[in-house]
Amino acid sequence: MRSEWPDLKLTDFAIVLRSTTALGAPFEEALRALGLPYEVRGWGATARNEVVRFLVGYLESLRRPDDSEALESALASSLCGVGPRTISRLRAYARERSRPLKKAVDRVMYSLAARDPERYPLPWGGDAPAGRAEGAPQEARPEADFMAFLGAEELDALHRAMVVRERLLGRARTLPVASLAYAVLIEEGAIGRLLDLELSPEQREEAIAHLRSAIEGLESIELVHERMHGAKPLLADITGSLETLLAAAADDTEAAAGSRDAVQVMTVHQAKGLEFEVVFCAGFAHGLFPLDAKPHPLLDADDRAWLERFKVGFMPSWPSDPDGHLAEEARLAFVAMTRARRRLYVSYADGYLRQAGRSVFLDMADPVAEVHELTRASSRLAPEDVLLGREAEVLLAAHPTALSEATLARAAGLGLDVGFLTDPISGEPFEPYGDDRNPATVEIDHFSPTTLNDYLKCPRLYWYNHHPGLVEEPRSVAMERGGFLHEVLQDFHEHESEWHPLESDQQRQWLEDALQRHLDGYLSRMEGVLDRKREEKQVRSVLGNYIRSITGMQFIRRLGTLAVEKRFHLQLDGVEVVGKIDRVNDVGDGEVEVVDYKTGSGKPMRFAYEMYFGPELHDVQLALYYLACKDGLDDEGKPLGFQPRFLSLWYPKDWVWGGMRQDIFSVGRPAGLKEYREKPLTTEDLERSRAVVMNAIERIKGGHFEPAPRELPGTCVTRFGSCPHAAICSYGGAPPE
């Protein structure tokens, strides 16, 4: 269309929906896939605003004061002022002792009050622990061990946040919901922190507009409650999820103005009074137009009936009879259809949450327009319209009893593979496994540390990830951040000869310059302004820890960097393994340290050893790096020729024991470090890891892909995440009988 009308801007296109909350996600996903910028009006956009997320989460924590998850959500926001490091310490402390987070926070408050009762009075009042206040420990106990690693500013921020929280808990018993929201924003300091952000006037206006929409949604909830009960609701009077109520109210509110050249996504209510060159009206289906569920977003049928029957003088804002409601819905449909100046597209589906189909309003409007029908509903399949040949073959093969001679003759006439249709194993579940079903052999060009680790997690996970050509999962924020940090550190260390002789402040400036060269491109992939600010703060924190560590005292001798992002090709019994080493350091005496950056949170040394070299190891990355240094070749076919002395994991996100977390595995002889930093590797450890690699390769080549998930993140039998292929894997997370 832009080629047909070159004068059109993206803001001239609008997608108008009955509800952006319920129907907007597929359109957003499609726009992202096409790389088109877009803006969602209403709650869909408002809920992405960090201040709004903070406000709703904080109100939920006040409504459920003993809920640890709600408390953590409120304190973890960057607008709360507590800081992610403090929350991480509290969370780990609570988990290690199997206690609720609230109890861990209370323990810190008692410890602070015992340390200095004038500076840190108990937020809920009462005496310090020595006075045996109600709920205090029965006897003096040592402070939590992690408190020694928190600075005075961090402890002050945590104490201040808990004092404000206790004060707001008191106000929640007297203030209506909207007034309480204002109190949260002002007293907790979120508004002040928003104003302190370095935002352009347009960005600040956008953030405040979303916040205003959320407050107006709370005021709408107050209005409905007041008309029903004669008084504005307190927080305790709200039933159900605040976010759900706000989303329902927001779909009927006025939209904020668009702020940039982007496709506009909005509700029909929000499109009133607006016009666009091209409009896509989606969801013109029975059950959505007309909508028969509830004319008012915050009242169900019983609430409306009670108000109309028993409230003397009550004048409903909705039609009180079916004909009036249908007329109002028709007016709304007319609004949707008349928003386009040049071209209008109206679409609907055969089913949404339930069977739907064409809206009666389309027949009433009787538009003179070209109609395209694209459907996958089994009752309305037209193979020549909607199916590829191979799709039709799979559908037919799945119903062998329906393949009569006449059907097969027609299939042959359509050019389908009749031999496939009559094959008894056609139409079986996707890539089946089991007796006589594994492939005899699998031809694979090369392996990598990632593919082998997938196989060790679960053979079926490896198969789905690397063979059938399924659509890859979108990269998570953590994965995107990891790739970005690798780019910055590669750029930084490629110029090490220039900055290494300089003072530490000048070295930090070199890292800042490397960051700036890559930052804009990375942040442009973030959705919102505040998301970009938060992500920039996160990467700066990680890189700040990194530069503090490498410019400070080193645990082992490090003379300089020999290689960064070094690719290798390793031959193991005729099989090629290809990978890339993050960094190789010179440690003197012709030996090196092999470094793997980990941008997530680290693990204690004993767990790291079990993961990489223990009897039940499930990560062969360091083992392959070790073998590649000794026997691998670079891209030009030259030997790497490194003699590994240390295999190290660096976690720049974690600052522990006065430095960046480093798990150092020493080869041959110990370096004399504390046991929580160093683990000497024996010949048995190295041979075991090589044997695990070779066994995995041989099983893959032999076609052994039976599901055998281990309790590790990313599989179907763990509490930490889930398998991305659970929808198609028949194993389903439960062991076979």
pLDDT digits (tens, 9 = 90+) for 50-94: 677 788 888 888 888 888 888 887 887 777 778 777 887 788 788
Which DSSP string do the residues of 408-469 spell out, in sequence order? HHHHHHTT--HHHHH-TTTTPSSS--STTTS-S----S-B-HHHHHHHHH-HHHHHHHHSS-
Note whether 460 and 715 are within 8 A (CB).
no
pTM of the model: 0.49
pLDDT value, residue 493: 92
Q: Any bridge partners for residue 577, and if so which?
A: 447, 570
Phi, psi of 711 (to 5 degrees): -75, 75
pLDDT value, residue 704: 85
Residues of the chain scoring pLDDT < 50: 131-138, 293, 295, 381, 733-737
Note whether 710 and 438 are within 8 A (CB).
no
Phi, psi of 569 (to 5 degrees): -125, 120
Longest CA span, the chain: 93
What is the enclosing helix (H) or strand (E) of 310?
Answer: helix 301-310
Structure letter (DSSP) for residue 682: P
Structure letter (DSSP) for residue 594: E
Mean pLDDT score of the chain, rounded to an integer? Answer: 80
pLDDT value, residue 182: 86
Nearest to 595 by CA among 618, 632, 621, 577: 621
What is the enclosing helix (H) or strand (E) of 586?
Answer: strand 575-588
**CA dist 572 → 624, 628, 704, 709 (Å):** 10, 10, 19, 26
The structure tokens 């832009």 sit at 2
pLDDT tens-digit series, residues 621-673: 999 999 999 999 999 999 999 999 999 999 998 888 778 899 999 998 899 99
